[in-house]
Structure 1
Amino acid sequence: MSQTKKNETTSASPRPKSGDSQNRRTAIILAGVVLVLILAIVGIIGYPIYVAPFRRTIITVDNVTIRMDYFLKRIKLSGSDPIGMITQLTNDQIVKLGAPQYGISVTPQDIDQNLRSIFQGQSGNASGTPSEPEFKEWYRQRINESGLSDAEYRDIITIEIFRSRLQGYLADIMPKSAEHVHLYVITVATQKEAENIRARWAAGANFTDLAKELSLDTAAGQNGGELGWFPKGGVLTSQIEFQAFELSTGNVSEPLPMISEEQQSDGSTAPTIVGYNLLLVTERANRELDANALQVLRSKVVDDWISTQRENYNIKWQGLHNGFDSETYAWIKYQMAKGQPKSTQ
């Protein structure tokens, strides 16, 4: 009897309708589809703003590409202006690609040795050998502080070694003599003053007497405007060198403006005329380079070499849309102002 009641009770319990179960499954599926669509929309909207710009290639040198995220890291690390950094990274790749043609190479052991030398110098233990744990901890901190990966940091060291060895090679083969000019100068404040002095010289006045009387450069003025012998190749500023070596012997140049980058009220700098020079070349000859000229020319031999090599490489500067334009420059400055984003991988 009790078994019969139990069966009756069991059979009396309501069973879920198959339609209700199907509706629940449909609702779950629809909710999943909606969620996927929402995520897709967020991705479609967010990717061009928060991901894509950092993955864009900003520099190409032959087959080497540099992305925006790395570019931003390097600006943050050095504090450089975007234009200065894009030039530096381009030049770095020219050095890295071009140095091997002279038999210059850099091995992983060279990089390790260079890093250990840096560590020893910073630790104040120039003669002792640092322990491996000390070195690893120092290197770990360097990586963390720089925001770079191990590979990125070692690549910077690689390029520094390439540049140093290339400089040594080019300095060794650099000519030890060059064309020189014996240069005199009168410096004044305005173009009108310079024109009047040149007119007096043209009328027969002695240049050295005019320099002693009127030049604002008192040191040179006391010597009649004499600056000395200067070689061609970069010891003088590019503007003065061009004029001096174009000038015929015994002639005085037209007034030559002196350009300086002066700070403006808004904190920026702008080229400003700060005076005028009159140049006189009294002699020219091929002479041996003195110690000062050798030092100056050796210090810039890599930069001079890079300027001759650029045409051998396919170099492109790219930006967000239409090359490295003002919009890209402003976007980079904005990213630096708000803090550099992490790498997008």
Structure 2
Amino acid sequence: MGQSLSRNNILEQLRIKRNKRFRLASIVTVLIIFTLLIPVLQYSLNIYIPYNKTALRVEDSVFTREDVVDFVRFNQRLSEEQGVQFNPGSSLFESLQLIAENEIAYFSAAQYGLTVEQWEIDEAFFIKLGIYDDIDLSLGEDKRAFQEQKIQFLNEVQLDDETYQDIVRKGIFREKLRRELSREIPLIQPHAEVYKILVSDAQPTMLSDIERRIKTGEDLEEIISRFSEDPEVQKNKGSLGWIPVGIYPTLDNILFVQDENGKRNLNLRELSEPYINQESDLLEFYIISDLTEARELSDEHMEQLSNDALRQFLSNKSSVVNIEYGLDNDTFNWINSRVQIASILPSSTISEDDMDGVDSILNQ
């Protein structure tokens, strides 16, 4: 009986020793795993999670903080390569809006049958760098030089080729959409030849004198040179040139609108009601010197109307497309700190106005 009990004690002691070794091994294993996990956790907390936090969603397309950093760095470096200072504040939230608009343009490409070829991406990149005139991509030597310069550029801004291609491609889709919309703008349109007088005090006697001189047929440029307080009056004589509808939207009503009887809101060689110039606080008066129902748009006006058409198209689409901004002050500051790393010019600081811009997006 005693011998049997002694054997049980021995077995129990062996079991206890095994358990102690097992617990010790378990503790050591846990410590090793925990030690190995620390860098992983640090990476997740400091890099992976912050970089992959959603900054923008356009329908099913999700753009992370990292995507925004890539986009801003790319455009930042392109600007700075040409000596243009990059504003880290306004450019950040404007970039978010631009990313969203480019995505809408990309979605709309099929509607207009728009496509983008590889050579267009390469060409657009060199045009942005301002050196395309010196390169012929059809030549092997120039193509190799292009590839080397592109690789160097992407390494400097820490972008991979796929990201670069996507950014440039969608920018091209935006420009192609703008051109397509411009086709809908009539090349021949009504125009008004317009002059402007700026005065600080619209005294009745002075206005009566101006109106009398206009009605008697005195040269408009001489009248304006005599009375206008516009600093540029000696340079432009108050002339705004031939203006079509849409160039000065606030003036369209007086320049082009007629009632059911054909009566115009502002007749030829007649002084308009005063408008307040928001920049100088001067009063503006307008005079139509001539009208035509058919005049070809200037290149400058076609460009402006095309930009307005694209802006209106994107605004209309934005009202029906699901767009969500994941931008807050923390994200704003986080992105800005990463963007500054790629800057080659002295860094700027974020102003209170820049932060107000963030809030304006969040409140949309």
State the TM-score, normalized to the length of structure 1.
0.67
In the alignment of these two chains, the number of paired residues is 298
Aligned residue for 1:76, secondary structure, equals helix
**Structure 1 residues 120 and 185, CA, compared in 2 at 3 Å: closer, same or farther?**
closer
**Partner of residue 273, structure 2:** 253
Match of 1:137 among 110, 123, 148: 148
Match of 1:90 among 78, 91, 100: 100
Between the aligned partners of 1:69 and 1:252, the Cα distance in structure 2 is: 53
**Structure 1 residues 335 and 118, CA, compared in 2 at 3 Å: closer, same or farther?**
closer
1:157 and 2:160 matched: no
Q: Is the 8 A contact 1:99 1:162 kept in 2?
A: yes
**Structure 1 residues 339 and 314, CA, compared in 2 at 3 Å: closer, same or farther?**
same
Match of 1:56 among 49, 53, 66: 53
**Partner of residue 102, structure 1:** 112
**Partner of residue 24, structure 1:** 21
Between the aligned partners of 2:243 and 2:273, the Cα distance in structure 1 is: 17
1:232 and 2:245 matched: yes
Cα deviation, residue 156, structure 1: 2.4
Cα deviation, residue 146, structure 1: 3.1
**Partner of residue 310, structure 2:** 305
Aligned residue for 1:84, secondary structure, equals helix
**Partner of residue 286, structure 2:** 280
Higher relative contact order (CA 8 A, sep 6+): 2
Cα deviation, residue 147, structure 1: 1.9
Cα deviation, residue 170, structure 1: 3.4
**Structure 1 residues 223 and 153, CA, compared in 2 at 3 Å: closer, same or farther?**
closer
1:170 and 2:175 matched: no
Aligned residue for 1:185, secondary structure, equals strand
**Structure 1 residues 108 and 216, CA, compared in 2 at 3 Å: closer, same or farther?**
same
Cα deviation, residue 85, structure 1: 0.9
Between the aligned partners of 1:123 and 1:257, the Cα distance in structure 2 is: 42
Between the aligned partners of 1:129 and 1:326, the Cα distance in structure 2 is: 48
Letter in 1 for 2:282: Y
Q: Is the 8 A contact 1:179 1:285 kept in 2?
A: yes
1:332 and 2:352 matched: no
Cα deviation, residue 37, structure 1: 5.6
Q: Is the 8 A contact 1:178 1:287 kept in 2?
A: yes
Cα deviation, residue 27, structure 1: 1.6
**Structure 1 residues 194 and 86, CA, compared in 2 at 3 Å: closer, same or farther?**
farther
Q: Is the 8 A contact 1:167 1:301 kept in 2?
A: yes
**Partner of residue 217, structure 1:** 230
**Structure 1 residues 28 and 277, CA, compared in 2 at 3 Å: closer, same or farther?**
farther
Q: Is the 8 A contact 1:119 1:135 kept in 2?
A: no
Cα deviation, residue 71, structure 1: 0.4
Cα deviation, residue 275, structure 1: 4.5
**Partner of residue 301, structure 2:** 296
Q: Is the 8 A contact 1:232 1:241 kept in 2?
A: yes
**Structure 1 residues 160 and 276, CA, compared in 2 at 3 Å: closer, same or farther?**
same
Deviations 1:7-54 (A, max 9, x none): xxxxxxxxx966445423312212333555677788778745543232
Letter in 1 for 2:303: R
Between the aligned partners of 1:294 and 1:116, the Cα distance in structure 2 is: 24
**Partner of residue 318, structure 1:** 325
Letter in 2 for 1:177: I
Match of 2:207 among 201, 206, 215: 201
Q: Is the 8 A contact 1:163 1:302 kept in 2?
A: no
**Partner of residue 158, structure 2:** 147
Letter in 2 for 1:56: K
Between the aligned partners of 1:67 and 1:104, the Cα distance in structure 2 is: 27
Q: Which moved more, 1:16-25 or 1:62-71?
A: 16-25
Cα deviation, residue 280, structure 1: 1.6
- Alignment gaps of 5+ in structure 2: 1-12, 77-85, 215-219, 258-264, 344-364
Letter in 2 for 1:255: Y
**Partner of residue 185, structure 1:** 196
Between the aligned partners of 1:178 and 1:117, the Cα distance in structure 2 is: 32
CA RMSD of aligned residues (A): 4.1
Aligned residue for 2:282, secondary structure, equals strand
Aligned residue for 2:241, secondary structure, equals strand
Aligned residue for 2:273, secondary structure, equals coil
